[in-house]
Structure 1
Amino acid sequence: MFTGADCMWFIAGGWAIDLFIGRQTRPHGDTDVLVLRRDQHAVQEHLAGWEFFAADPPGTLRPWQAGETLYQGVHDIWCRRRGSSSWQLQLMFDESDGEDLISRRDHRVRMPLAHARRTSPAGIPYLAPEIQLFYKASAPREKDQQDFQTALPLLAADQRAWLAQALSLVCPDHDWILPLTS
């Protein structure tokens, strides 16, 4: 669906964890795609046959009009093919500064885009698992905890260190820090 898009994109959410692991580990309700905020118009143009609804904080859905620039507080866009009543895709906007990905949750948390974007053996770009787990850690649900437990043994030392440092910065008492540093 994103082949040929004139922007950088990443599979995100639980599918990103599964792409890292190399297999599907649990059911997924939708597909999350992370896009840099600076590329929001390119995505709108690429998915011209779709309807977009911005989740304005604190969570009100409203149509995202063609050519409208969404402000920094809007991170989630619900998408469906024109004429469909079911949601099929969730776009998530993240911030960037030059060649760095900047967390939308805390601008002190960053990673070079070259490291943030991984590619599966099938050629599918996905968000680095340590970044995805950082997002899942903010208010972990059962599926987020499962994703953490499944990915933890496969994280390299530098991935564990990055995630532990990011969590320590924004949530120093987080339950995941100890397993990451043990």
Structure 2
Amino acid sequence: MSSNSLGAWRPALPQEIAEVFQGVDFPWWIAGGYAIELAVGRELRPHADLDVLVLRRDHQLVRRLLADWDLYVADPPGVGQLRPWPVDEVLQRHLHDVWCRRTPDSPWSVQLMLDEAEGDEWVSRRCPRVRRSLSQLGRVTAAGVPYLAPEVQLFYKAKQTREKDEIDFDAMLPLLEPAERAWLLQALDATAPEHPWKSRLLPSIEGQLS
């Protein structure tokens, strides 16, 4: 979805949104390129937005938390159409992308992504066979900012890789633990068996196991 026709973006920083979400009783994670940077520990590239992942089952809690914000849902997703998200609306399952700004006159600053869960497991919208325990879905910085585990974030990025995704993969690959590489490889096996990242993940795993 192009932001050019939908208004300007000025992405919030992870610490800024962490202050907004401070003390909530539901899980959430910084996602997208910022999640990779938090894992790597350094800035990699400019960012057009700030992604925040929340579970669909908690989306009404998020809407009430941001009751004073101006929120729009992509409906239908991916075609460049936004509509207001009223505070009391329960979003249908096919809606999973929400743009957020503090006021109607402010630039967009946060993109919410709603993802699925069953019990204590995260479930990929792309392929329900791809799952992860919620307890292993993220990490937390020393400053207390939760972010999506890098292998899970790379799985998201693998769908349609762009230059920025290759930059993130190149920076993160040497830092992935064997179990994290193995999980990403299995997730790609289930969704993109011919993905070019697999050839780079396999030697890393084999080298660790030899």
Do the aligned residues in 2 keep the contact of 1:5 with 1:43 (CA within 8 Å)? no
Do the aligned residues in 1 keep the contact of 2:36 with 2:150 (CA within 8 Å)? yes
Deviation of the 1:83 alpha carbon: 3.3
Which TM-score applies when normalising by structure 1? Answer: 0.96
CA distance in 1, matches of 2:105, 2:150: 31
Q: Which moved more, 1:22-31 or 1:111-120?
A: 22-31
Letter in 2 for 1:99: D
Which TM-score applies when normalising by structure 2? Answer: 0.84
Q: Give the gaps of 5 or more residues in structure 2.
A: 1-19, 204-210
Letter in 1 for 2:82: L
CA distance in 1, matches of 2:134, 2:107: 32
Q: 1:128 aligns with which of 142, 149, 152?
A: 149
Please give the residue correspondences for 1:53-64 in structure 2 after superposition, counting only pairs within 5 Å.
53-56=72-75, 57-59=77-79, 60-64=81-85
Q: 1:49 aligns with which of 68, 90, 102?
A: 68
After the TM superposition, list the runs of 4 or more consecutive aligned residues in structure 1 that deviate by more than 3 angstroms: none
CA distance in 1, matches of 2:169, 2:104: 37
- Please name the residue that 2:196 is paired with: 175
Q: Which has the larger radius of gyration?
A: 2
Do the aligned residues in 1 keep the contact of 2:127 with 2:190 (CA within 8 Å)? no
Q: 2:128 aligns with which of 107, 114, 124?
A: 107
- Please name the residue that 2:170 is paired with: 149
Q: Give the gaps of 5 or more residues in structure 1.
A: none
Deviation of the 1:62 alpha carbon: 1.0
- Once the two structures are superposed, residues 147-174 of structure 1 have per-residue CA deviations (whole angstroms, 9 ceiling, x without a partner) of 0111000000000000011001111000
Aligned-residue CA RMSD (Å): 1.1
Residue 116 (structure 1) aligned with residue 137 (structure 2) = yes
Do the aligned residues in 2 keep the contact of 1:16 with 1:128 (CA within 8 Å)? yes
Letter in 2 for 1:146: I
CA distance in 1, matches of 2:93, 2:33: 24
User: What SS is found at the alignment partner of 1:130?
Assistant: helix
User: What SS is found at the alignment partner of 1:166?
Assistant: helix
Q: 2:87 aligns with which of 66, 74, 83?
A: 66
Hey, which of these two has a bigger chunk of strand by percent? 1
Deviation of the 1:70 alpha carbon: 1.1
User: What SS is found at the alignment partner of 1:69?
Assistant: coil
- Once the two structures are superposed, residues 21-55 of structure 1 have per-residue CA deviations (whole angstroms, 9 ceiling, x without a partner) of 11221111221100000000111111122111111
